[in-house]
């Protein structure tokens, strides 16, 4: 007898556990490759995953086996054309020829085991031991995901959902209510009948008893047929209803100074910072909204393209951006439903006296509702050498420093080159307890 | 006449069942095959890759090396450097046979005849599988192994389990019983036996006997090491078995892990010994059955052409100087030999009568083949049945490569003077106990320095791979807990 089973719909990823163990084993190499590619390539193709080359040595699975050389070997080969017994053949030069693995044509050496790290694995390692602070608010708004939830029982359903316990309970109730004769009862009747049948020359009373038992047995058997052990009426299925899944959602405000003092280099650095934060948020939250606010002496909400690539001239008033953020947030992103993050990039220039306003905006409004507010000041390479001391800086920097002292959800750093971005980022969101332990 | 089983390349479960029933009818009534019940499972490519990575088994404990396998195959497959197997078949009862969903219907017919009847019959009838594997229990055992190992990971940490498994895997191939059926008494049975033995000793105690025995034993007694080795059951060829029983440092769960690995090694051992026969049997069966179906008009010409195309590409044997050459193709050799056995039975020539007087012209090729499938393994099968005609057809020649000589030497070719030597050499090269290094544990002084001594008997002066030898010895040290030494001896 042959059975056919369609396995194609079985859950995928049976070997995920093995893959995870494999990556765990070569963690050091993977980590290295990830760090290298983060430094090397542009942020835009960060999502692509990466190739990891691992020296074969660290993956060897040794065993006792014969060496490929040495000793006397004799083997049989097919396809003889010209040889006769006793012919002598020069050895093929080592390395070339039939035996032995050849170097792969695509440059992957024989010594390396190369494999592709998927995007998710790449980001997992990238974000390892980072954690966003205060991941608390969940909201039903805007969720598209529905998950099946238990919702009682139903009389129809897929066989896989058959609720055996309920079904059997109902069957038993029905059998009792309809007085279905039990196995024991039938056996008892049969035994008594059998005992009477065994009597040699039964008297009249015994004969009558026999007839009565016979009739009773027949009635009971017929009754059992009418009242089956399990009836389609008894069947109950577990019922599942799709219910919207509460999802955590976040909005990320990107604030940037686009006045003339911000050149292409500064914008590029700022962009890297934003993209990293965005990548990270998309991993933690199912929906992440982005709001781009650029400012000169005026602030406005713009789309991403304009935000990064269009030029604007004017003075610099940072507080306008904060006011704009406050407006957008109170109109569209109520703090009770959204996790609010903000990232601000600037070169530190500000209109005289405006920094005080910024401080007030932050402390009276924004920091009360923000999960986290990160500020990076982008400075030149030359400045970086001078401004090594965090206690010195522009007016804006000094004002923000006061804020940072009072608000734990406010963080600020200076960035001078693209190499600084990654460490700054890790530093900004490093796990709290690591900070606590020093 | 126009009773086609299927038409066109698409398959569905109706055509699969109809075709399988038709194949089964021929397998049973014509060939008289005896198979386990079949369980044919249709799987996707990704699931096939999954199956690859876990040595083809539907269940397996988790280990990084399987992840490595998976990545390796996936990469080759996605580059197009390697196609996927059309099927995987598992020696279990019921016999599980995975078929790839992408196969066309003619391919499914080929695969079902090949695996679900050819391999299945071989698993059920061959003496090695019958004696050494437990087809009914293997899936349950794997399920248990998987559960046990994940429990161990929880309790003792994934790192420790991984180290133990790594070390055990390194010794896996050197951890089979080659000659005797492994004794697998339960702990309780073992305890009972020990008790009984003591009882026996007490009953047999008699001053007369004890005196004689004492005198008898006295010369051996002086040699404490003989006594000690005897008590440990040395020499022992099954490395893991010895460690599992006698290692001074292992915890009980580690012994159980070793036992699991050892049992799996033993389970796979017959497959390694019967590659040529197993594939030959499956190819012969599928070829016979599908040709029969074609004769009966139940498979169309187009489908038969597709079947023959993949049949012949599987059976292709490139010559030694062909760029695609990678050793003798077990499919080709097995199929050629089995076809030739049929020829010898049906229409022998004088040469065949001289070489195979017992079967030449007997006509009962089914009986001869079934007897061969049941009672031989690769080495003995070749020794017994490789005919001069097959050697000529494959144009075999034997080549000797001695380190001491400057050139390689052709020792025999497919001519009258070379047939015997050629057959011996080929049979030898399929003898696993000859191919694998001969290593056994010879001594361990548990009361003394506790050094575990191994002996490698060199055959034809072929050395061990030096780097892997050291790495494997490290694994042994990990499991033994003390120093391990290996001596090389010229055999």
Segment A7-42, tens digit of pLDDT: 887 777 777 888 888 888 888 788 777 777 765 655
What separation, in Å, do the N-terminal and C-terminal C-alpha atoms of chain B show?
Answer: 65
Other CB atoms within 10 Å distance of the CB of residue B388: 20
Chosen for mutation from A70, A78, A114 (greatest number of chain B CBs closer than 10 Å) is A78
Chosen for mutation from B468, B469, B474 (greatest number of chain A CBs closer than 10 Å) is B468
Q: What is the pLDDT of residue B102?
A: 86
Chosen for mutation from B408, B412, B418, B423 (greatest number of chain A CBs closer than 10 Å) is B408
Q: What is the pLDDT of residue A106?
A: 40
Q: If you measure CA to CA, which chain A residue comes closest to B434?
A: A66
Asked, as a colleague might, if the bond just before B94 is cis with ω within 30 of 0, I would say: yes
- Residues of B whose CB is below 8 A from A116: 75
Q: State mean pLDDT over A195-223.
A: 89
Do A301 and A328 contact (CB within 8 A), yes or no? yes
Other CB atoms within 10 Å distance of the CB of residue A218: 11
Q: What is the pLDDT of residue B189?
A: 67
Strand partners, B95: B38
Q: Nearest CA to CA, how far is A164 from chain B (Å)?
A: 25
Q: If you measure CA to CA, which chain B residue comes closest to A115?
A: B71
Contacts of B42 (CB under 8 A, 6+ apart): A4, A5, A6, A7, A8, B99, B100, B101
Q: What is the pLDDT of residue B124?
A: 93
- Residues of A whose CB is below 8 A from B109: none
Tell if the CB–CB gap between A60 and B42 is shorter than 8 Å: no
Q: What is the pLDDT of residue A99?
A: 40
Report the alpha-carbon distance of residue B114 to residue B84 in Å, rounded.
Answer: 16
In whole angstroms, how far apart are CA B115 and each of A39, A427, B96, B435?
A: 52, 58, 9, 27
Instruction: Taking the CA atoms of B392, B394, B395 and B396 in sequence, report the sign of the dihedral they define.
Output: negative
Q: What is the pLDDT of residue B455?
A: 92
* Low pLDDT (below 70) residues in chain B: 1-2, 81, 180-191, 194, 201-222
Q: What is the pLDDT of residue A159?
A: 80
What separation, in Å, do the N-terminal and C-terminal C-alpha atoms of chain A show?
Answer: 68
Whether the ipTM is more than 0.90: the answer is no
Do A34 and A125 contact (CB within 8 A), yes or no? yes
Q: Nearest CA to CA, how far is A129 from chain B (Å)?
A: 20
Q: If you measure CA to CA, which chain A residue comes closest to B47?
A: A12
Q: What is the pLDDT of residue A96?
A: 46
Residue A298: what are its φ and ψ, rounded to 5°?
-125, 150
Report the alpha-carbon distance of residue B55 to residue B62 in Å, rounded.
Answer: 12
Where in chain A are the domains? 18-57+111-126, 159-239, 249-436
Of B50, B426, B469, the CB nearest to A14: B50
Whether residue A105 has pLDDT greater than 50: no
Where in chain B are the domains? 13-126+274-309, 315-426
Tell if the CB–CB gap between B317 and A113 is shorter than 8 Å: no
Tell if the CB–CB gap between A77 and B403 is shorter than 8 Å: no
User: Following DSSP, what letter does each residue of B148-162 receive, concatenated?
Assistant: HHHHHHHHH-HHHHH
Tell if the CB–CB gap between B13 and A74 is shorter than 8 Å: no
Of A88, A91, A115, the CB nearest to B71: A115
Query: Of B95, B98, B165, nearest to B135 (Cα)?
Result: B95
SS3 of residue B422 by DSSP: helix
Of B17, B170, B437, the CB nearest to A61: B170
The residue length of chain A stands at: 438
Of B39, B67, B410, the CB nearest to A3: B39
CATH architecture of the domain covering A249-436: 3-Layer(aba) Sandwich (3.40)
Note the pLDDT tens digit of each residue in A408-418.
878 888 887 76
Whether residue A136 has pLDDT greater than 80: no
Q: Nearest CA to CA, how far is B321 from chain A (Å)?
A: 8
Tell if the CB–CB gap between A25 and B162 is shorter than 8 Å: yes
Share of chain A above pLDDT 70, in %: 80
Tell if the CB–CB gap between A78 and B412 is shorter than 8 Å: no
Q: If you measure CA to CA, which chain A residue comes closest to B162?
A: A21
Q: If you measure CA to CA, which chain B residue comes closest to A99?
A: B326
CB-count burial class (<10 Å; 0-12, 13-18, 19+) for B314 = middle
Instruction: Indicate the pairing of strand B407-413 with strand B397-402.
Output: antiparallel
Number of A–B residue contacts, CB under 8 Å:
256
Model confidence band, residue A431 (pLDDT cutoffs 50, 70, 90): very low
Tell if the CB–CB gap between A70 and B463 is shorter than 8 Å: yes
SS3 of residue B401 by DSSP: strand
- Residues of B whose CB is below 8 A from A67: 462-466
Residue matched to tokens 């049906």: B346
Report the alpha-carbon distance of residue A337 to residue A244 in Å, rounded.
Answer: 16
Report the alpha-carbon distance of residue A159 to residue A3 in Å, rounded.
Answer: 19
Give the containing element (helix H, strand E) for A11. Answer: none
Give the containing element (helix H, strand E) for A295. Answer: strand A287-295
Structure tokens at A2: 């042959």
Of A273-282, A381-390, B430-439, which has the strongest mean pLDDT?
Answer: B430-439
Structure tokens at B246: 């006698």
CB-based contacts of B293-297 (< 8 A; 24+ apart in sequence):
B293/B5, B293/B22, B293/B23, B293/B26, B293/B109, B297/B1, B297/B2, B297/B3, B297/B4
Q: Which ranges of B274-349 would DSSP assign to H, the alpha helix? A: 275-295, 301-314, 330-346
Q: Nearest CA to CA, how far is B350 from chain A (Å)?
A: 25
Tell if the CB–CB gap between A78 and B116 is shorter than 8 Å: no
Note the pLDDT tens digit of each residue in A39-75.
565 544 556 667 788 877 778 888 888 888 888 888 8
Q: State mean pLDDT over A166-172.
A: 94
Q: If you measure CA to CA, which chain B residue comes closest to A6?
A: B42
Tell if the CB–CB gap between B401 and A14 is shorter than 8 Å: no
Structure tokens at A300: 């406005």
Tell if the CB–CB gap between A89 and B408 is shorter than 8 Å: yes
Helix axes B275-295 and B13-29, enclosed angle (nearest 10)? 100
Higher pLDDT, residue A146 or B1: A146
Of A1, A67, A88, the CB nearest to B463: A67
Report the alpha-carbon distance of residue A78 to residue B399 in Å, rounded.
Answer: 11
Report the alpha-carbon distance of residue A64 to residue A70 in Å, rounded.
Answer: 16
Report the alpha-carbon distance of residue A423 to residue B253 in Å, rounded.
Answer: 44
Tell if the CB–CB gap between A88 and B407 is shorter than 8 Å: yes
Q: Nearest CA to CA, how far is A41 from chain B (Å)?
A: 23
Q: What is the pLDDT of residue B447?
A: 83
Tell if the CB–CB gap between B13 and A68 is shorter than 8 Å: no
Half-sphere exposure of B118 (CA within 13 A, CB side): 29
Note the pLDDT tens digit of each residue in B73-96.
888 887 776 777 778 898 988 899
Report the alpha-carbon distance of residue B261 to residue A61 in Å, rounded.
Answer: 15
Q: What is the pLDDT of residue A141?
A: 40
CB-count burial class (<10 Å; 0-12, 13-18, 19+) for A75 = middle
Q: What is the pLDDT of residue A145?
A: 62
CB-count burial class (<10 Å; 0-12, 13-18, 19+) for A332 = exposed
Tell if the CB–CB gap between B437 and A67 is shorter than 8 Å: no
Strand order of the sheet with strand B407-413? A72-77, B397-402, B407-413, A88-90
Tell if the CB–CB gap between A6 and B41 is shorter than 8 Å: yes
Of A22, A24, A78, the CB nearest to B394: A78
Model confidence band, residue A135 (pLDDT cutoffs 50, 70, 90): very low
Strand partners, B236: B441
Q: Which of A119-123, A228-232, B38-42, B326-330 has the lowest mean pLDDT?
A: A119-123
User: Following DSSP, what letter does each residue of A167-229 receive, concatenated?
Assistant: HHHHHHHHHHHTTPPPHHHHHHHHHHHHHHHTSSS--HHHHHHHHHHHHHHHHHHHHHHHS-S
Mean pLDDT of chain A: 78
Q: What is the pLDDT of residue B192?
A: 74
Q: If you measure CA to CA, which chain A residue comes closest to B396?
A: A78
Tell if the CB–CB gap between B47 and A8 is shorter than 8 Å: yes
Chosen for mutation from B465, B470, B471, B484 (greatest number of chain A CBs closer than 10 Å) is B465
């Amino acid at each position: 007898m042959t059975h056919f089973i369609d396995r194609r719909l079985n859950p995928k990823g049976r070997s995920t556990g093995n893959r995870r163990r494999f990556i765990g084993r070569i963690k050091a190499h993977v980590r290295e490759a990830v760090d290298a590619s983060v430094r090397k390539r542009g942020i835009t193709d960060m999502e692509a995953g990466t190739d990891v080359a691992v020296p074969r040595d660290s993956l060897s699975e040794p065993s006792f086996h014969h060496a490929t050389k040495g000793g006397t070997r004799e083997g049989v080969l097919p396809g003889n054309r010209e040889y006769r017994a006793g012919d002598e053949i020069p050895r093929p030069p080592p390395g070339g020829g039939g035996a032995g693995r050849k170097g792969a044509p695509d440059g992957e050496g024989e010594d390396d085991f190369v494999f592709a790290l998927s995007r998710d694995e790449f980001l997992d390692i990238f974000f390892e031991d980072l954690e966003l602070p205060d991941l608390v608010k969940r909201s039903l708004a805007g969720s598209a995901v529905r998950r099946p939830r238990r919702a009682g029982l139903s009389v129809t359903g897929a066989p896989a959902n058959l609720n055996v316990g309920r079904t059997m309970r109902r069957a038993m109730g029905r059998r009792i209510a309809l007085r279905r004769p039990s196995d024991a009862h039938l056996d008892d009747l049969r035994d008594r009948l059998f005992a009477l049948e065994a009597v040699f020359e039964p008297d009249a009373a015994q004969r009558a008893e026999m007839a009565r038992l016979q009739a009773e047995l027949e009635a009971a058997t017929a009754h059992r047929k009418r009242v089956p052990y399990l009836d389609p009426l008894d069947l109950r299925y577990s019922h599942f209803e799709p219910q919207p899944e509460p999802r955590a959602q976040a909005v990320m405000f990107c604030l940037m100074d686009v006045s003339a003092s911000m050149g292409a280099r500064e914008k590029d650095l700022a962009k890297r910072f934003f993209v990293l934060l965005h990548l990270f948020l998309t991993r933690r939250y199912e929906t992440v909204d982005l709001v781009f606010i650029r400012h000169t002496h005026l602030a406005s909400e713009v789309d991403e393209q304009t935000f990064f690539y269009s030029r604007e001239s004017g003075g610099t008033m940072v507080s306008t951006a904060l006011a704009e953020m406050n407006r957008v947030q109170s109109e569209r992103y109520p703090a009770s439903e959204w996790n609010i993050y903000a990232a601000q990039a600037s070169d530190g220039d500000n209109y005289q006296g405006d920094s005080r306003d910024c401080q007030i905006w932050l402390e009276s409004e924004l920091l009360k509702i923000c999960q986290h507010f990160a500020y990076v000041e982008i400075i030149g390479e030359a400045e970086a050498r001078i401004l090594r001391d965090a206690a010195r800086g522009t007016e804006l920097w000094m004002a923000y420093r006061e804020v940072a002292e009072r608000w734990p959800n406010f963080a600020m750093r200076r960035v001078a080159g693209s190499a600084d971005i990654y460490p700054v980022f890790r530093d900004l969101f490093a796990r709290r307890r690591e900070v606590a332990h020093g | 006449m126009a009773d086609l089983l299927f038409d066109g390349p698409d398959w569905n479960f109706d055509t699969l069942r109809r075709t399988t029933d038709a194949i089964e009818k021929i397998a049973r009534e014509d060939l008289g095959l005896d198979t386990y019940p079949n369980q044919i499972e249709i799987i996707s490519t990704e699931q096939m890759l999954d199956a690859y990575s876990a040595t083809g088994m539907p269940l397996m404990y988790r280990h990084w090396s399987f992840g490595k396998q998976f990545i390796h195959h996936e990469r080759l497959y996605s580059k197009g450097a390697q196609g996927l197997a059309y099927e995987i078949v598992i020696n279990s009862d019921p016999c599980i046979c995975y078929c790839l969903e992408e196969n066309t219907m003619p391919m499914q017919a080929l695969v079902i005849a090949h695996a679900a009847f050819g391999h299945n019959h071989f698993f059920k009838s061959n003496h090695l599988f019958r004696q050494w594997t437990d087809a009914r229990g293997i899936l349950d055992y794997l399920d248990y192994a998987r559960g046990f190992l994940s429990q161990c990971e929880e309790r003792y940490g994934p790192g420790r389990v991984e180290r133990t498994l790594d070390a055990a895997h390194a010794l896996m191939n050197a951890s089979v019983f080659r000659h005797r059926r492994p004794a697998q008494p339960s702990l309780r049975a073992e305890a009972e036996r020990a008790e009984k033995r003591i009882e026996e000793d007490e009953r047999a105690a008699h001053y007369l006997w004890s005196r004689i025995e004492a005198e008898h034993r006295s010369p051996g007694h002086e040699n404490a090491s003989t006594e000690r080795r005897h008590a440990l059951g040395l020499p022992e060829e099954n490395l893991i078995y010895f460690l599992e029983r006698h290692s001074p440092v292992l915890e009980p769960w580690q012994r159980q892990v070793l036992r699991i690995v050892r049992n799996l090694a033993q389970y796979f051992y017959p497959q390694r010994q019967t590659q040529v026969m197993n594939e030959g049997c499956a190819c012969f069966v599928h070829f016979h059955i599908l040709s029969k179906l074609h004769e009966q008009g139940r498979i169309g010409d187009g489908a038969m052409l597709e079947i023959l195309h993949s049949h012949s590409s599987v059976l292709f044997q490139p010559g030694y100087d062909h760029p695609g050459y990678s050793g003798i193709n077990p499919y080709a050799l097995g199929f050629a030999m089995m076809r030739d056995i049929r020829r010898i039975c049906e229409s022998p020539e004088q040469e065949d009568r001289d070489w195979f007087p017992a079967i030449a012209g007997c006509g009962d090729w089914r009986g001869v083949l079934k007897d061969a499938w049941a009672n031989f393994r690769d080495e003995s099968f070749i020794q017994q049945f490789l005919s001069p005609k097959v050697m000529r057809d494959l144009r075999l020649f034997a080549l000797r490569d001695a380190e001491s000589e400057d050139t390689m030497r052709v020792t025999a070719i497919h001519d009258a003077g070379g047939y015997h030597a050629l057959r011996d050499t080929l049979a030898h090269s399929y003898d696993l106990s000859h191919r694998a290094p001969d290593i056994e544990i010879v001594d361990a002084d548990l009361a003394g320095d506790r050094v575990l001594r191994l002996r490698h008997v060199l055959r034809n002066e072929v050395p061990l791979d030096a780097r892997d030898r050291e790495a494997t010895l490290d694994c042994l040290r990990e499991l033994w807990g003390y120093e391990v030494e290996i001596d090389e001896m010229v055999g």
